């Protein structure tokens, strides 16, 4: 049984609507959890239509899926660092982090179960060791917890914004600003429930950006996350008016280049080691399919 504790940051929404956004679940799933007694608001059993108030504490118990077995699968992965507490993985484009609807057994979690000797159990059988995620078609670094103590430490660092996550992306067009800070709310799109969108409500999302280079009508940009919302950089790039090259969901449907997904790479990851308390930093070079296109477009790649 997975337990989530959420402190309400926005007043005035129905409980089921608020939780659907906060947990990235369907509203019907949230209603079933509420009806099943799996949700408490300030220690009391609520109804789905209850209006949430800022500062309220919501406890949600999420039962483990029944009858789902996650197998160890020999999928090659790039483990760039490993000790008894953590492993840092350079995830390739095209690999889903954990199982979900229609994913099968070809996920990073399946590979981790095969290659690592232990994983934290806080996130349950479906997501052992997973502290944070990156999209299937985004490449780059993520840290995996090998025990529960490490998991709690890393989760706390992400929440307190002391875990630094740096991405690079190639954007369509010439972004005029050299740097900036994007602060919006992000929620499920009302037009397409599989997509996220900037909205007037939802969860606060903050992304800092800096232009690294411009060439050939494109912009190479660095992004630093302050929050970790679903598809955050992709949504914020669209919000800037410069979607990520290769992103057919939030960008152009007809792409100029023959790519398998968005040119977004988690290049740098730094955090305080859970046991040694040493500040550690890891870097993963831009993948070849990404760097070769940059070179063709005339980028010098000096930063």
Which SS3 state, helix, strand or coil, does residue 30 take? helix
Q: Look at residue 53 in the predicted model and tell me its pLDDT.
A: 92
CA atoms within 13 A on the CB side of 277: 0
Which structural domain, as residue segments, surrounds residue 199?
166-266
Q: Look at residue 99 in the predicted model and tell me its pLDDT.
A: 72
Say what percent of the chain tops pLDDT 90.
71
Q: Choose between 27 and 294: higher pLDDT.
A: 294
**Is 291 a domain residue?**
no
CATH code where residue 31 lies:
3.10.290.10
- For the question of residue 135 being annotated catalytic, the response is yes
Q: Are residues 126 and 80 in the same domain?
A: yes
**Is 237 a domain residue?**
yes
Which SS3 state, helix, strand or coil, does residue 197 take? strand
Q: Are residues 253 and 218 in the same domain?
A: yes
Q: Look at residue 67 in the predicted model and tell me its pLDDT.
A: 44
Q: Are residues 191 and 245 in the same domain?
A: yes
**Is 281 a domain residue?**
no
Q: Does residue 57 surpass a pLDDT of 90?
A: yes
Q: Are residues 19 and 88 in the same domain?
A: no
Q: Are residues 69 and 58 in the same domain?
A: no
Which SS3 state, helix, strand or coil, does residue 133 take? coil
Rounded Cα distance between 1 and 4, Å, is 10
Q: Are residues 77 and 149 in the same domain?
A: yes
Rounded Cα distance between 282 and 229, Å, is 22
Q: Does residue 192 surpass a pLDDT of 90?
A: no
From 141, 160, 179, the end of a domain falls on 160
| Residue 288 falls in which region: left (phi positive, over 0), alpha (psi -120 to 50) or beta | alpha
The mean pLDDT of 15-28, rounded to a whole number, is 86
Q: Look at residue 256 in the predicted model and tell me its pLDDT.
A: 95
Q: Look at residue 52 in the predicted model and tell me its pLDDT.
A: 93
Cα Rg of the chain (Å, integer): 20
Q: Are residues 170 and 257 in the same domain?
A: yes
Burial call 57-67: b when 16+ CB within 10 Å, e when fewer: ebebebeeeee
From 20, 43, 62, the end of a domain falls on 62
Q: What is the DSSP string of 257-293?
A: S--SS--EEEEEEEEE-TTT--EEEEE-PPPHHHHHH
Q: Does residue 66 surpass a pLDDT of 50?
A: no
**Is 299 a domain residue?**
no
Rounded Cα distance between 47 and 36, Å, is 11
The total number of residues shown for the chain amounts to 303
Mean pLDDT of the chain: 91
The mean pLDDT of 88-103, rounded to a whole number, is 86
**Is 217 a domain residue?**
yes
Quote the number of domains for the chain.
3
Q: Does residue 239 surpass a pLDDT of 60?
A: yes
Residue 98 — pLDDT band, cuts 50, 70, 90? confident
Q: Are residues 24 and 86 in the same domain?
A: no
Q: Choose between 37 and 144: higher pLDDT.
A: 144
CATH code where residue 190 lies:
3.30.2350.10
16, 85, 135, 247: the active-site residue? 135
From 160, 182, 211, the end of a domain falls on 160
């Amino acid at each position: 049984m997975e337990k989530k504790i959420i402190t309400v940051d926005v007043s005035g929404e129905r409980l089921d609507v608020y939780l659907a956004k906060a947990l990235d679940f369907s509203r019907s799933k949230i209603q079933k959890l509420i009806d099943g007694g799996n949700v408490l608001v300030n220690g009391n059993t609520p109804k789905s239509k209850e209006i949430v108030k800022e500062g309220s504490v919501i406890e949600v118990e999420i039962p483990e899926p029944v009858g789902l077995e996650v197998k160890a699968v020999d999928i090659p992965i790039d483990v760039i660092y490993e000790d008894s507490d953590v492993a840092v993985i350079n995830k390739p484009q095209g690999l889903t982090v954990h199982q979900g609807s229609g994913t099968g057994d070809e996920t990073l979690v399946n590979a981790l179960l095969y290659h690592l000797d232990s994983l934290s159990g806080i996130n349950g059988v479906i997501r052992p060791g997973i502290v944070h995620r990156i999209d299937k078609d985004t490449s780059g670094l993520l840290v995996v917890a090998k025990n529960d103590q490490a998991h709690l430490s890393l989760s706390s660092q992400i929440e307190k914004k002391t875990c630094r996550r740096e991405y690079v992306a190639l954007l369509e067009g010439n972004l005029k600003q050299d740097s900036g800070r994007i602060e919006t709310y992000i929620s499920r799109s009302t037009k397409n429930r599989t997509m996220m969108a900037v909205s007037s409500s939802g969860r606060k999302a903050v992304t800092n950006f800096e232009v690294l280079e411009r060439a050939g009508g494109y912009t190479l940009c660095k992004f630093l996350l302050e929050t970790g919302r679903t598809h955050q950089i992709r949504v914020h790039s669209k919000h800037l008016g410069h979607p990520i090259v290769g992103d057919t969901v939030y960008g152009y449907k007809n792409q100029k280049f023959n790519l398998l997904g968005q040119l977004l790479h988690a290049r740098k990851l730094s955090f305080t080691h859970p046991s040694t308390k040493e500040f550690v930093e890891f870097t993963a070079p831009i993948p070849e399919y990404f760097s070769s296109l940059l070179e063709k477009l005339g980028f010098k790649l000096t930063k």
